[in-house]
Amino acid sequence: MAAVTIRDVALAAGVSLSSVSRALNGGKYVSARVAHDVAQAATRLGYKPDFLARSLRTRSSGMVGCLVSDVSNPLNGSIVRAAEAHLRDAGYMLVVASTANDPTRERAAADEFKGRRFDGMLVAPGSGANDSMWRELALGGTPVVVLDRDPIGARDDSRWPAVLVDHHGGAKAATRYLLGLGHRRIALLTADARMRPSRERIAGFQEAYAETGVDPSGAQLCIQSTPMDFAQGDTVALLRGERRPTAIIALGTRILAGVLRAARNLDLSVPRDLSVLSVGDTDLASVHAPAITALRWSLEDVGRAAAELLLQRLRGDFGGGQSRALLEVDLVLRESCAPPLLRSVQL
């Protein structure tokens, strides 16, 4: 229908194809007359450039891909939105693919991105990512920025630009806080321990025990790979068990929900009978009664930093080489943590 091409504009303006292209792209070497005529003809005809053709010729699509487990998870959604906003300002379009952490789908999506000549990628692979996966990603020279993951097994681990969240420091601070309140038996509930965030948190958790000199035998790790609603059942089992924890650190929204449900079912009052600390601050955490003490970091910053890092590469400006960003994690004190009851302390 519309299909008004650069050729039509050239015809209307009475100049050549190349002149139109130059005029429209503000190139050098174009006379005032031509510039004016072309501009006029273009608007009169309602010319809209065809990005596809342009991309084919320039070998750059103006698109950036994003590999993420699931957009409907607000954690990812916020990151994506922030990244999208910044990339759009720079003239890029962000395409996100939800891969459910499935390596097959990650590979497929990455391939499609490359087939469409995407200019860059933001990736947060699942735990299935291995050596060859990373190698494949790097193949073809498309700039890649890693979102809170470790390119384990990839050559030049440290060379990958990445934006990382200081989960280690956060978890350590949270654990120290609970230890300081007098808790000794603290349980850490986490989903996939093979991925960076969980791994770092576990390390921080253990380091807090070590550094404060508290007997680490009270530290309990509860790890499961299906994240959805396992937490509720798990928490019940945990709380009914022999060495019942007096505090729980719940990693993620879904797990926090499970923990809170379990506590209610067992008629345990938070924080009297059980202290709860959420990793990640959500509406659920802040509105719940009692309000849940939480570790918080800025998802917007993650998205923004990732976009910045990528844009830097895209400009070919590897400037100074600050290729990784480490974002800090804050402990937001609220009402869900208190010293343990004495009877629970009686080892």
Contact residues for DNA (CB under 7 A)?
3, 5-7, 15-19, 21-22, 24-25, 27-31, 33-34, 47-50, 53-54, 56-59
How far apart are CB 84 and a second copy at their closest, in Å? 6
Residue 250 CB, shortest distance to a second copy, in Å, is: 12
Q: Of these partners, a second copy, DNA, none, which one is at the site of residue 1 (CB under 5 to 8 Å by kind)?
A: a second copy
What SS3 state is found at 337? coil
Residue 159 vs 264, nearer CB to a second copy: 264
60 vs 220 by CB, closer to DNA = 60
Query: What CA–CA distance (Å, rounded) separates 145 from 164?
Result: 11
> Least separation, in Å, of the C-beta of 293 and DNA?
55
* Residue 149 backbone dihedrals phi, psi, to 5 degrees: -135, 160
138 binds, among DNA, a second copy, none (CB under 5 to 8 A by kind): none
Please state, in angstroms and rounded to a whole number, the distance separating the CA atoms of residues 304 and 288: 29
CB of 39 to DNA, least distance (A): 13
Contact residues for a second copy (CB under 8 A)?
A: 1-2, 48-53, 55-56, 61, 70-74, 76-78, 80-81, 84-85, 88, 93-98, 111-112, 114-117, 139-141, 253-254, 257, 260-261, 264, 282-284, 286-289, 299
Strand, helix or coil for residue 14: coil
Q: From the list DNA, a second copy, none, pick the one residue 5 interacts with, judged by a Cβ distance below 5 to 8 Å according to partner type.
A: DNA
In the structure encoding, which two tokens stand for residue 70, read together? 């699931």
Task: Determine whether 71 is exposed, middle or buried from the number of CB atoms within 10 Å of its CB (0-12, 13-18, 19+).
Answer: middle
Cβ 182 to a second copy, closest distance in Å?
25
Q: Considering beta carbons, is residue 8 or 150 the nearer one to DNA? A: 8
Q: How far is the CB of 45 from DNA (least distance, A)?
A: 11
CA distance 256 to 276: 8
For the chain, where are the alpha helices, taking DSSP H only?
6-13, 17-24, 32-45, 51-58, 74-89, 103-115, 131-138, 167-181, 196-212, 230-240, 253-265, 283-287, 299-314, 342-345
User: Using CA atoms, how far apart are residues 303 and 241, in angstroms rounded to an integer?
Assistant: 41
Closer Cβ to DNA, 51 or 318, answer by number: 51
Minimum CB separation of residue 106 from DNA in Å reads 23
For residue 296, the cross-strand partners are 330
343's contact among a second copy, DNA, none, with CB below 5 to 8 A by partner kind, is none
Q: Which one of DNA, a second copy, none is in contact with 140 (Cβ closer than 5 to 8 A by kind)? A: a second copy
Q: Are strands 220-223 and 186-190 parallel, antiparallel or unpaired?
A: parallel
DSSP conformation class of 61: -
Q: Residue 226 binds what, of a second copy, DNA, none (CB under 5 to 8 Å, by partner type)?
A: none
Element (H, E) at 246: none
- 114, interface contact from DNA, a second copy, none, CB < 5-8 Å by kind: a second copy
Closest CA to 223 of 244, 243, 246, 197: 197
When the beta carbons of 58 and 132 are compared against DNA, the nearer one is 58
